[in-house]
Structure 1
Amino acid sequence: MTDPVFNVLFLCTGNSARSIIAEAILNRVGQGRFRAFSAGSQPKGRVHPRTLALLQHSHHDIGGLRSKGWEEFSGPNAPRLDFVFTVCDNAASEVCPIWPGQPMTAHWGVPDPAAVEGKESEIGLAFAETYRLLFNRISIFTSLPLRSLDRISLGQRLREIGQTKREPASP
């Protein structure tokens, strides 16, 4: 018997940096167990060029990445979602659509690297830090024993992951 693949949606307002980065990370780290998507409440219509450069540099497949609205995931033909994570504070405070499948939700807020201004090195550091935070949280998420946790315990663990700021402890 094959284990089901969990569908995960990462939400942000613009869907140009944080949610796109999370989608790419989970599709690689969770390959075969998770299928990641991303969307925005007010999508920019394009993926931030630094997002694409960072992901390419980290050897992620960027072929199918695009900025899109969350309505793609709320209609009758949308994939059944198992998890929905907001990665920006604005999206977390918005009224979200009703998601098919009654997914587990949590807020994993990360500062917006696309909003950083200053020297090229400062902007690059902001994107790298976003990648690091999301990679750490997604790594913790993919290591959870999802089948053995009840819904309440799982919800608590998902919220705790959103507070993770440092490197995960080594086993």
Structure 2
Amino acid sequence: MKDRYNVLFVCTGNSARSQIAEALGNSLGKRRIRAFSAGSHPAGRVQPMALQVLSDAGLDVSTLRSKSWAEFAQPGAPEMDLVITVCDRAAGESCPVWPGQPITAHWSIPDPVAVTGTPEQVQKAFSNTLHVLQQRISLLLSLRMEALDRLAAETKLRQISEVPTTA
């Protein structure tokens, strides 16, 4: 039984969705999870609108940076307990072999970076992403992981993405 679980949120560019999940995970799950994010092909920067939406929500963005998932497969990296992909493209890619064989799940979330339109429409897409991830991470935090075996934990984590969200 662990007091705190390491969770890696993965998307392709590590510029928006996974960054938002990292900030939310560390804020909402202070005592239960330690959140990280990474990308299979990191963009090299965090989207300014992602930073703005997080800042507007009162979340700390000071440590966010775009990074490769390879950073977490290296010796000496924090060992992950859970790896959650938040974009369909990353979910379909060959992932590194994660030390410790973490539980994996996929939470499909539309890419707010792909939204075009007025600045208000783009901002709304990022805000919706924040709200969806906030709901899903809250559901993750409500799970008693220590009471679940591996298969039950994987099932529960995957079911989180099936829960209707309100944005």
TM more than 0.5: yes
User: Is contact 2:10–2:84 with CA below 8 Å preserved after alignment?
Assistant: yes
Deviation at 1:3, TM superposition (A): 4.7
User: Is contact 2:16–2:46 with CA below 8 Å preserved after alignment?
Assistant: yes
Cα distance between partner residues in 2 of 1:45 and 1:164? 32
User: Is contact 2:2–2:146 with CA below 8 Å preserved after alignment?
Assistant: no
Deviation at 1:95, TM superposition (A): 0.1
Cα distance between partner residues in 2 of 1:166 and 1:77? 37
- TM value normalised by structure 1: 0.94
Deviation at 1:165, TM superposition (A): 2.9
- What is the aligned residue count? 166
**Structure 2 residue 55 is the aligned partner of structure 1 residue 66:** no
Cα distance between partner residues in 2 of 1:119 and 1:165? 27
User: Is contact 1:133–1:165 with CA below 8 Å preserved after alignment?
Assistant: no
Matching residue of 1:20: 19
The SS at the match of 2:8 is strand
Matching residue of 1:11: 10
Matching residue of 1:34: 33
Matching residue of 1:156: 155
Alpha-carbon deviations, 1:96-150, whole Å to 9, x = none? 0000111000000100001101111111111111111100000000010111112
Same amino acid, percent of matched pairs? 51
Alpha-carbon deviations, 1:40-90, whole Å to 9, x = none? 000000000000000000011111000000000001111110000000000
Matching residue of 2:109: 110
Greater alpha carbon shift after TM alignment, 2-11 vs 119-128: 2-11
Unaligned runs of 5+ in 1: none
Residue pairs, 1:124-139, within 5 angstroms: 124-139=123-138
- After the TM superposition, list the runs of 4 or more consecutive aligned residues in structure 1 that deviate by more than 4 angstroms: none
Cα distance between partner residues in 2 of 1:24 and 1:70? 17
User: Is contact 1:105–1:155 with CA below 8 Å preserved after alignment?
Assistant: yes
What root-mean-square deviation, in Å, do the aligned CA atoms of Structure 1 and Structure 2 show? 1.2
Cα distance between partner residues in 1 of 2:88 and 2:165? 20
